[in-house]
Amino acid sequence: MRPLLFAANWKMQVTPEETGQYAAQFLGATAPAEGRALWFFPSAVSIGAAADAFGGRPDIRIGAQDVHWEPKGAFTGATSVPLARGAGATGALVGHSERRHVFGETDEETGKKVRALLDGGCTAFLCVGEKLEEREAGKTAQVVLRQLRAGLAGVSPEELRRVVIAYEPVWAIGTGRNATPEDAARVHAQLRAELSSFGATNRVPILYGGSVNLGNALGLLAQPEIDGVLVGGASLDPDGWTELVGIGG
From the candidates 96, 105, 130, 225, which is the catalytic residue? 96
Residue 168 among the catalytic residues: yes
Nearest to 195 by CA among 140, 146, 129, 148: 148
Q: Rounded to whole angstroms, what are the CA distances from 159 to 86, 131, 132, 163, 198?
A: 22, 29, 32, 7, 10
How far is Cα 28 from Cα 51, in angstroms, rounded to an integer? 17
96 given a catalytic annotation: yes
Sorted by sequence, the CB contacts under 8 Å of residue 191 that are 6+ apart come out as 128, 144, 145, 148, 165, 167, 206
Residue (of 88, 23, 25) closest to 54 by Cα position? 23
- Is 174 within 8 Å of 232 (Cβ atoms)? yes
For residues 41 and 53, the answer to whether their CB atoms sit within 8 Å is no
Q: Which of 105, 130, 168, 225 is labelled catalytic?
A: 168
Active centre residues (catalytic): 96, 168
